[in-house]
């Protein structure tokens, strides 16, 4: 993990796209690690690309505190639905955003902030998804998908403003 402007006891989320892993560090100490799924279209910053943006980000907002596991969010709002395979079959076109959302905002002007590369305006999140979805291989529309139990644990252990590094280091 890069040490750019890193504080000694700061919590940092490190997302390694090559490994499809999310690691939570406090200072140099690994607190937790989770399998994730990033974009099936790969890495990219451009609006409309359905790619996962790289670089430094921050958690702009945490959404879904105390929502039930498998709560369906549409437009960052609780839809009052609970995900089930029956609901998936009746709505095959939906991109399932479940349980919790951590909305990312880019920190690097011209790379992931501003204009056609703005992560926040692209609505890129770390979010829960159906636990039956595949993990450890790219399959999202640009977001970072996690298992529901994992997204709840991460959500409960970080604050809005936590920095996130998304990269491809081996």
Asked, for residue 1, whether it belongs to a domain, the answer is no
Asked, for residue 18, whether it belongs to a domain, the answer is yes
CATH number for the domain spanning 58: value is: 2.40.440.10
Asked, for residue 89, whether it belongs to a domain, the answer is yes
pLDDT tens per residue across span 112-126: 999 999 999 999 999
Asked, for residue 3, whether it belongs to a domain, the answer is no
With contact defined as beta carbons under 8 Å apart, do 158 and 24 qualify? yes
Average the pLDDT over 76-99 and give the result.
95
| Strand blocks (E) in the chain | 11-16, 21-26, 29-35, 55-63, 71-74, 77-82, 98-106, 125-128, 144-146, 163-167
pLDDT > 70 in the chain, percent: 95
Q: Please give the residue range of the domain that contains residue 24.
A: 11-167
The count of structural domains within the chain is: 1
Predicted pLDDT at 137: 84
Can you name the residues that pair with 52 across neighbouring β-strands?
43
Asked, for residue 61, whether it belongs to a domain, the answer is yes
Asked, for residue 142, whether it belongs to a domain, the answer is yes
Asked, for residue 6, whether it belongs to a domain, the answer is no
CA gap 27, 18 in Å, rounded: 23
Report residue 86: phi and psi, to 5°: -65, -40
Q: Is the pTM of this model over 0.85?
A: yes
Report residue 148: phi and psi, to 5°: -60, -45
Asked, for residue 2, whether it belongs to a domain, the answer is no
């Amino acid at each position: 993990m890069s040490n750019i402007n890193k504080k000694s006891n700061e919590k940092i989320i490190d997302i390694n796209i090559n490994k499809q892993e999310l690691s939570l560090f406090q200072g140099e100490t690994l607190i937790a690690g989770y399998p994730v799924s990033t974009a099936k279209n790969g890495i990219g910053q451009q609006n409309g690309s359905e790619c996962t943006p790289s670089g430094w980000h921050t958690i702009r907002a945490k959404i879904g505190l105390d929502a039930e596991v498998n709560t369906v969010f549409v437009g960052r709002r609780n839809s009052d639905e609970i995900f089930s395979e029956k609901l998936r079959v009746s709505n095959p076109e939906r991109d399932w955003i479940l349980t919790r959302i951590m909305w990312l905002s880019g920190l690097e002007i011209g790379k992931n902030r501003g204009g056609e590369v703005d992560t926040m305006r692209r609505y890129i999140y770390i979010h829960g998804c159906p636990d039956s979805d595949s993990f450890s291989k790219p399959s999202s529309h640009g977001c970072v998908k996690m298992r529901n139990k994992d997204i709840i644990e991460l959500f409960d252990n970080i604050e809005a403003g936590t920095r996130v590094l998304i990269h491809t280091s081996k």
